[in-house]
Amino acid sequence: MQSPESSRSPTALIVDDDHVMRLLEQETLVQFKFDVHEAADGEEALRLLDQFVPDLVLLDVDMPGMDGFEVCRQIRKRWDMTDMPLIMVTGMDDLGSINEAYESGANDFISKPINWPILGHRARYVLRSAQAARELRELQEKQAAIVQAMPDMIFLLDWQGTYLDYKAGYGSTPYKGTDEFLNRKLSDVLPAEVADLLLQAIELALLRGHLQSVVYKLPMPDGIHHYEARVAPSGVDKVVVVVRDVTLEKLNEDKIRRLAYFDTLTGMPNRQSFLERLDGELLRARRERHQVALLFLDLDGFKRVNDTLGHAAGDFLLRAVADRLKEKLRGSDFVARPALDEISVHFARLGGDEFTVVLPDLDIDNGQVVTVIANRMQALLSRPFQINQQEVTITSSIGIARFPGDGDDAATLLKHADTAMYHAKAQGRDNWQLYDKTLTSDAIKRLALENDIRKGLERDEFRLFYQPQVLAADGTIVGVEALIRWQHPEHGLVSPGDFIPVAEESGLIVPMGKWVIQTACRQVMAWQQHGVVAPRVAVNVSARQVRASDFIGHVTAIIDETGIRAEQLELELTESILMDPDTRRIEGLSRLRAQGVHFSIDDFGTGYSSLSYVKRFPISMLKIDQSFVRGLPGNANDVGIITAIIAMAQSLDLEVIAEGVENRAQADHLREAKCGKLQGYLFSRPLPPDEAECLLRQGRIALPQQGLE
Ligand code: C2E
Ligand code: MG
Ligand code: MG
């Protein structure tokens, strides 16, 4: 149907058997700018309507043949004319024919005699209202289509929360059937807390005049569904509530959150979410004036499990630890006051074998809960774990930091709990410690290491490696230097540089050094028994060890006990010993020398060695420090120092060995400079006893190129 609003004139079809009436009607409508067509009876009218659709039909009721009512009915049967404006012209103004006019589908009627000026206005008016009705219908169709295409449910409610109307969106299912909620109140239909939430939103929407949004969940037949409702004011006392099922989005969001915030191995919150949550708890604690405790747990010797049983077993153990903590920490198989079931606890895994437990709601006066929990955690974890066929027992060390005393923010508390945990490790593991301001993390790490060394000595975790020393002239092996290694249960093979300083500071170097001399001597005897020509073994001794009162006695005892010949043992002293002219010590060392023990000065050239010092001691060899060897042969300074040391040694009748020889050029230079012995990676790295034994059997390390042949 064409729109009469457009620029063309509206068309009208006049149907009347009376020629004069048609003429008058036409005259009138033309004056009102209609473009007029005529038909003399019903049949002609229907024929004409096959050819075009007018904007208005003016239809006489009384016609020969098909009367106006019938024509009207026929017209209304056609799909494109269901709402074409149609005015009936009746000869009678009795109620019956007026009714019949409307029933047959007329929009309006006008009775004869016709009031001509009115007819034109009438026609215009009918046209306009038909147009408005058409627009309204189109709008409704459009809205219905939108509603159908959207997954939302649309509710109309009054200000008190009474459901007035409902439109179902695509695939949406309301919480209850329409007859169960239409004309009822929210609170009669929905769970109380959801109804309250929506009522508040309705109130706010009406009060402020703009959109409110709430989310809630409802139990549906296939499980819990999540919804987002947008509440828009509609007039002053009604709201339109558009509700969308956001269950899928929520599940995806949860999944993303889980990935970002949860540790995938144990399902516990990860470091990030732990820190955020702890910060949140601290805010609340500050407001509500209560304490928060952070317990930082680290498994003792976890690396050993990983190394010996494999990573899969390690992962299994971590999961089992997490499960035990989550499930049993508050279990009733422990008797404790106050009842732990009543306090909230947050767990997290920070990574590796580190777990945290946060107690966010501690009253000032139930501080002992922290220690109860710590004890309980340790008791829980100390029960054996079954991994595959294997029973694994593990202990844990726990550090505890508390808010407000030990820190204001999550990062500080974590740092301090970590420090306290180290302290617990230092105290021999399998215990818990409270953070104390006097603990600095360095001091604690040192303490932990010291404790570890002590344990390592008890558990026999130290090993000696041996590095050959050769004649510069032909590569004959003339000795080995014993170098200590620590086969650490968690850290693997540890170099002496990482623990000797702490062993020295703590005095542990004394028993350790004794063990080294003893082991080196026994090794020489063992090689000898294996038929290997036993070389001289050089053992490093630290200043503190030499100063220990019974040093000389110990060395003598070891020589006696192992049966080594004294001249097979060389003790490498540090330059600092020479600086300390204690005559009794010099006498002691001289006694050993008299028995045959050799003495050398290690790392010579790095300290304040002076000839006069060297002369006082029964030294037989200088070891040129590797830092000078490194610069050979290019660095003139190093070349100069080495030349001077060799000349000085010759003048004192001392042997010289250069250590840290890594390449051919260094070896060639040293040999030409008359350095008698060489030691370094060029010949061999320090080796475990069995590999060293193979080298010793060969007796010589010949280099492939000219020079050492
Ligand atoms: P050091 O006595 O001067 O030992 C030589 C160090 O240089 C050893 O390191 C050795 O592995 C390394 N080395 C040998 N050849 C080369 C080379 O060609 N290039 C380089 N870059 N390095 C080479 P290590 O075994 O790590 O020992 C370090 C230090 O620890 C030793 O220096 C010694 O002072 C001390 N130490 C080792 N074992 C003991 C011990 O049983 N008791 C005491 N008190 N100290 C020890
Ligand atoms: Mg040495
Ligand atoms: Mg050295």
Pocket of ligand 1 contains residue 467 by CB under 6 Å = yes
Pocket of ligand 1 contains residue 625 by CB under 6 Å = no
Q: By alpha-carbon position, which residue is closest to atom 23 of ligand 1?
A: 660
Q: How far is the CA of 483 from the centre of ligand 1 (A)?
A: 6
**What is the structure's pLDDT at 92?**
65
- Please state at what angle helix 551-562 crosses helix 509-529, rounded to 10 degrees: 20
Are domains 11-145 and 258-439 of this chain identical in fold? no
CATH code, residues 258-439: 3.30.70.270
**324 touches 381 (CB < 8 A):** yes
**What is the structure's pLDDT at 679?**
97
Q: How far is CA 268 from CA 57, 417, 442, in A?
A: 78, 19, 30
DSSP states along 77-120: HSGGGTT--EEEEES---HHHHHHHHHTT-SEEEESSP-HHHHH
Cα–Cα distance for residue pair 532/587, rounded to 1 Å:
34
| Tens digit of each residue's pLDDT (9 = 90 or more) over 62-112 | 899 999 999 999 998 888 888 889 999 887 667 888 888 888 889 888 888
| Tens digit of each residue's pLDDT (9 = 90 or more) over 468-486 | 999 999 999 999 999 999 9
Pocket of ligand 1 contains residue 577 by CB under 6 Å = no
Pocket of ligand 1 contains residue 542 by CB under 6 Å = yes
**What is the structure's pLDDT at 307?**
80
The minimum-distance atom of ligand 1 relative to the CA of 574 is 34
Across 412-535, where does the E strand assignment appear? 432-434, 462-471, 477-488, 492-494
Task: Tell me the percentage of the chain whose pLDDT exceeds 70.
Answer: 95
Pocket of ligand 1 contains residue 603 by CB under 6 Å = yes
Cα–Cα distance for residue pair 650/501, rounded to 1 Å:
33
Assign 384 to helix, strand or coil. Answer: coil
Q: Which helix (H) or strand (E) holds 397?
A: strand 395-403
Arithmetic mean of pLDDT, 265-283: 91
Cα–Cα distance for residue pair 660/658, rounded to 1 Å:
7
CATH class of the domain whose range is 11-145: alpha beta
Ramachandran region, residue 213 (left: φ > 0; alpha: ψ -120 to 50; beta: rest): beta
Across 265-373, where does the E strand assignment appear? 291-300, 346-351, 354-362
Q: What does DSSP say about strands 291-300 and 238-245: parallel, antiparallel, or unpaired? A: unpaired
Pocket of ligand 1 contains residue 662 by CB under 6 Å = yes
Domain residue ranges in the chain: 11-145, 150-245, 258-439, 463-698
Q: Is the pTM of this model over 0.85?
A: no
Q: What secondary structure letter does DSSP report for 566?
A: G
From the centroid of its chain, how far is CA 312? 21
Across 99-189, where does the E strand assignment appear? 108-111, 153-158, 163-167
Q: Among all ligands shown, which has an atom nearest to the Cα of 624?
A: 3
Tokens representing 679 are 């030691």
**What is the structure's pLDDT at 706?**
53
Encode 377-414: b = buried (16+ Cβ within 10 Å), e = exposed. bbebbeeebebeeeebebebbbbbbbbeebbeebeebb
Q: How far is the CA of 508 from the centre of ligand 1 (A)?
A: 18
Tell me phi and psi for residue 436, to 5 degrees.
-140, 135
pLDDT tops 50 at residue 709: no
The minimum-distance atom of ligand 1 relative to the CA of 484 is 38
Q: How far is the CA of 682 from the centre of ligand 2 (A)?
A: 17
CATH fold, domain 463-698, is TIM Barrel (3.20.20)
Arithmetic mean of pLDDT, 360-381: 83
Pocket of ligand 1 contains residue 501 by CB under 6 Å = no
Q: How many residues would you count in the chain?
A: 709
Q: Which helix (H) or strand (E) holds 447?
A: helix 441-458
Q: How far is the CA of 537 from the centre of ligand 1 (A)?
A: 14
Binning pLDDT at 50, 70 and 90, where does residue 332 land? very low
Cα–Cα distance for residue pair 430/288, rounded to 1 Å:
34
Residue type, 219: P
DSSP states along 15-72: E-S-HHHHHHHHHHHHHTT-EEEEESSHHHHHHHHHH---SEEEEES--SSS-HHHHH
**What is the structure's pLDDT at 685?**
96
Q: How far is the CA of 661 from the centre of ligand 1 (A)?
A: 13
Domain 150-245 in CATH: superfamily? Answer: PAS domain (3.30.450.20)
> What residues contact 141, with CB distance under 8 A and at least 6 apart?
none
**442 touches 310 (CB < 8 A):** no
Cis (ω within 30 of 0) for the bond into 511? no
Q: Which of 517, 540, 664 for a ligand 1 pocket mutation test, highest count of atoms within 8 Å of Cβ?
A: 540
Cα–Cα distance for residue pair 540/546, rounded to 1 Å:
11
Arithmetic mean of pLDDT, 278-288: 92
Binning pLDDT at 50, 70 and 90, where does residue 4 land? very low
Q: By alpha-carbon position, which residue is closest to atom 37 of ligand 1?
A: 483
pLDDT tops 70 at residue 650: yes
Binning pLDDT at 50, 70 and 90, where does residue 547 land? confident
Ramachandran region, residue 169 (left: φ > 0; alpha: ψ -120 to 50; beta: rest): beta
Q: How far is the CA of 447 from the centre of ligand 2 (A)?
A: 26
